[in-house]
Amino acid sequence: MSLKQKSRLPQILMLLGVLSLGAVFLFPLWQITLDAAQFPGGLKMHIWINKISGSEKNIIQNINILNHYIGMQYIEPDSIPELKYFPLVAYSMMAIGLISLVLNKAWAYLSWFIIIAILGALGIYDFYLWLYDYGHNLDPKAPIKVPGMTYMPPLLGEKDLLNFYVTSYPHLGSGFLGLSTILSFAAFWVKRKS
């Protein structure tokens, strides 16, 4: 690798990091799957940075019908503020990433890495709170009540909830977010070493 190519490597890494962050608009961040005998193939709910979708057209409606019986709140994507402001945060971070690319300074790459890592951790914590609220804040008039039972899906992993086997894992969008974070740190590391 020539000296000129080495000097541009941090910028290339940062550009790839910014592009990886943009992939959160192309792929879901998380997937929650509800498996049960009455649903062959399971109900797969995809959580994106700006919407909730699933393996079927009416996934949210089907899950809301099931939730009604155990007293869970309806999932109403339009009423979830994070789905509106998380995309703005991602766009802002992409713009800041491009500015740090132009500045081409180690401190700029490190700053972006720290901010994106903190935002990622806060996003996971916010998701945990969302799951906790949906699983614990139950309607006392629900048709099915099991004393002491809560219905919080796992943040990460697998769990039996009544007759459902629930899995919750990151999806491709989270992988690209992680890659973006790693690439920004690599840009900082290479710039610092040079």
Q: DSSP string of 17-60?
A: HHHHHHGGGTS-SEEEEEEETTEEEEEEEEE-SS-EEESSTTHH
Q: What is the mean pLDDT of residues 145-149?
A: 80
Residue 158, pLDDT score = 96
Which pTM was predicted?
0.87
Mean pLDDT to the nearest integer, 58-78: 86
How much is the pLDDT for 53? 92
User: What is the pLDDT of the chain when averaged over all its residues?
Assistant: 91
Q: What is the pLDDT of residues 114-132, one digit of tens each?
A: 999 999 999 999 999 999 9
- Asked whether residue 1 carries a pLDDT value surpassing 70, the answer given is no
